[in-house]
Chain A
Amino acid sequence: MTLAPAERPALAEGGAPRPRRRIPTTAALATALLLVVVLAAIHLTQGTSGLGASDLLRLVTERDQHTWNVLLGSRIPRLVAALVVGSALGASGAALQSVARNHLASPELLGVSAGAYLAVTVVAVTGVAVPIWLTGSAAFAGGLLAAALVMAISAGGAAGPTRLVLAGSAASMALGSLTTLLLLLFQEETRGLFAWGSGSLLAVNTDASRQMAPVLVLGIVGLVWLATRLDILALGDDAATALGVGVRSTRVLATVFAVLLAAAAVTVAGPIGFVGLSAPVITRLVGARSPNLLKHRVLVPLSALVGVIVVVGSDVALRAVFGAARGVEVPTGVVTTLWGSLLLVALARAHRDSGPVRDAPTAHGTSVRSRRRVVVVVVAAGAAVVTAAVVGLLVGDRFLLLGDVAAWIQDEASRRVTFRLDERLPRVGGALLAGAALALAGTSVQAVSRNPLAEPGILGITAGAGLGAVVVATSTPSAGVWALSGAATIGAALTFVVVYGLAWRGGLSADRLVLVGIGVAAAVGAVTVMLLVLTDPWNTPKALTWLSGSTYGRRLPHLVPLVLTLLVVTPGLLAAHRSLDLLAIDEDVPRVLGVRLERVRWAVLAGAVALTASTVTAVGVVGFVGLVAPHAARALVGGAHRRVLVVAPLLGAVLLSSADTIGRSVIAPSQIPAGLITALVGTPYFVWLLYRSRPT
């Protein structure tokens, strides 16, 4: 029925069966509650005013007004926010995991938080102070839409964790791109939202928490009310139906409650990352030894408590590490994301390979195409590249004509034309080359991971390259092309080695590789945000532009690393096309046929790393091209890598170049980074792709 069925097997299967020692329900709840109380007490003693435990304790005997004010005006609102956010996300995650029957379902990975955050940003951009309930409703609507979309295209999570997470992370990426676009275009109105976008608990009053409290109660009570039905649902759809439980209605109701909870959390503190993932997972890990804790009547409230422990614990750790003053600068969500993503990695490592039942990116499903058709496609794609190049040169903040280009080539154009073409040439060239490189990298990664939904970004390579480049760009602003390129390559390579190393457990499972990659990418992303917030807190537009993939200000020398990498890697990949075909089938066929699996896999992935890293200096961090282009190529010419490796880069070049041209022209003289456009264009395609290939 499912690849990663009910909660228990997925988590318990890692170790040898242990003797079951029941943890009494009350003991579990009491322990969690005690931990909450202890952490909350520590939390209350931390803060920028320097008032510590002894000052607070003195309140018992004498009422010092100042201490009292600090407690009421800062410590308690902050703690209440943490309580609301933690419990809401914990319960929400627990419900979503049960609905999806998948331990990776969570508000973050399902795009609920991203959808809610986008809605909140839209509200903020209007510049009008709106009541919190309105922001909350917007967040709910945004979150619900995202959840519905992701659930629909991943068959409610029944299609296995990888598919669900890929769908969710793609949806999050697209929604995040829209948010970034708004942050870039309305930078003064949204100045605080960049840090808040990672989740902040610096509440000055309990208004938001109080207004969201009824939602919190409604959500949790609603889920507890559904508890018995959710318990039965865990037995499987057929069993549940046989026992008279409305499968559909239970799913829908539970999802609505879960999204309400997640939206309440986003309204109070912004999208605090990975709490909804880690809290229920921890609960289930504990419960794996004691099934009474896995009854939803207990699971939901217990996950809520664990969620509080995660959030308050992260906030406490943040202040313990950075000190109270600097702790204000780093969003709490960065810490929860960091450690939540590490948990995701640990989970992925425990994840057992679900066998060779993969929807591999080979010719399965796509019929072998006739030779003539392939020729037509290649010629058409080639023509499209030329067209994209020419249109890219002609279109921008102002239209030019072909005669201008001719005059420019002969060095006879007017200043006006010369300026424009001198600027556009490296940008168009960079977009074309980077698009091709990303498509090649995507093709390689999809073949190796045997997953048509994988792309370089999902293996953490892009995030690593971005982090490397950001480290250099923030520490030495005058760093040249080669320093940036070198740092990006090192970052990408290190991240990749980490991902590969973590995913390796006596062999490489394609699923594990993707899940570990997503976890590491999230962790690296959190570190990048932390670095940007700490080093250059007032220059978020620059950081956003850099991270969203822009060709702005690029010159021809920036393209050199890219050209060299393409020249070296492309022939290598083409030469390995047969191995790639075999690699894409399963683990065994290549071995039987004498392909040295590990060596080829390493070489191909190393090529993908080099290609991805080299694009960072030319266009920054761009997603989706490596995902969409190879897939479109397979749809056109079939799965043989001999053909895909030719067509995919052409399509990738057209995609990124068109995105760049659109970004340069639609709101000229202002510009939209190309990476945001590719995400906006790529997402609908990706959604359609997932939807069409959904298991029925």
Chain B
Amino acid sequence: MTGMILNIQRFCINDGPGIRTTVFFKGCPLRCDWCHNPEGQNPEKQWLFYPDKCTHCGKCKSVSVQDAGFLCPVGAKEICGKTVTAEEVIAEVMKDYEFYKNSGGGITLSGGEPLFQFAFALELLQKAKENNLHTAVETCGYGEKSELSEIARFTDVFLFDFKESNPKFHKAYTGADNGRILENLFLLNALKKETILRFPVVPGYNDRQENYDEICRLANTLASVTGIEIEPYHAFGGSKYTALGKPAPEIAMQTKAQIEEIIRYIGERTEIPVKQA
């Protein structure tokens, strides 16, 4: 079967253990205000347009977003989203097998949201396992429980985003409350699946002490959680918002000292290793 992906990125060293190749899925059920991969939200192909590069040559006027062969001469317009088969993805991923072998790395599914294309994600993970690859899935946790258990069978480690402990705030920031996400986190714990809790700290949103306290409390009750990774907010997604014709969120970035302080604060409240992602 085929899936819709953004791209395949080799040499990822922050998406699970070792040297990894990360497959970015396109399509996500959440709409986080701070999303730094906004092109990963919509499950369809889209245009990315960088107006400042455009020379108005007109060559793209009659081109459809489905026309994979189109190449803007100055790189002002590009198609975002690629239809690929699981075999094609695995062939690309296997190119770095030598590097996984020596580093304990492998494949990571990220996005977007891998669970949003459950069947494709499952096929990919099955094929990865057939090829002796270590597998990681980075997920927002918002998916069907039955599907997550299926995925878990072929996944060595989950990088589980946990953003907000207060359900009302969660709904306000992401469009959905965190009930299903919590259930899935408990499910992985019940399945004894190694889970790294990833906490994106977004200034003005979830950078509250009671949120840190609650995340620590949650993590401390879950034997499956082997690490907590703090992801500082960054504004790299800004140009992509522009390219999608949307206004970019205006969020200030934390200083290094602020991040270190958060890591220290959380580290004091749990035995689980805490580090910056």
A, B in one complex: no
Chain B residues packing against A (C-beta within 8 Å): none
